[in-house]
Structure 1
Amino acid sequence: MATGGEAVARLDDGRVIFVQGALADEAVVVEITEAKKRFARGVAVAITERSAHR
């Protein structure tokens, strides 16, 4: 988890993505809202594997 409560993951191209609405150890479908050269930001639109902490 990043500062501000965003989950942190990696995209297939190696960039880091910060995801709002996801928890650690979850699998989610993400809508990318901002794409930069070295990172991206997105929002979880569906949870495919829930965390036990949810």
Structure 2
Amino acid sequence: MIRRKLRTTTDVQDRGARDKLCRRLVSMLARKGYQPGLAFSIVNRELDALNQSS
């Protein structure tokens, strides 16, 4: 789910844009039943991987 959403994002280099995207993705996972800590770790890991590949 997270990777699918990240495919459509443009730039997450800006700190504010990254935080906004992180909050949205974590809340999406929370609605699916994920625990907050797990959701944040998943989103941060995927955002870091996206930054590494860019």
TM-score bin, normalised by smaller chain: under 0.3
Q: Which has the higher strand share?
A: 1
Q: Which has the higher helix share?
A: 2
Which has the higher relative contact order, 1 or 2, with Cα contacts under 8 A spaced 6 or more apart? 2
TM-score (norm 1): 0.22
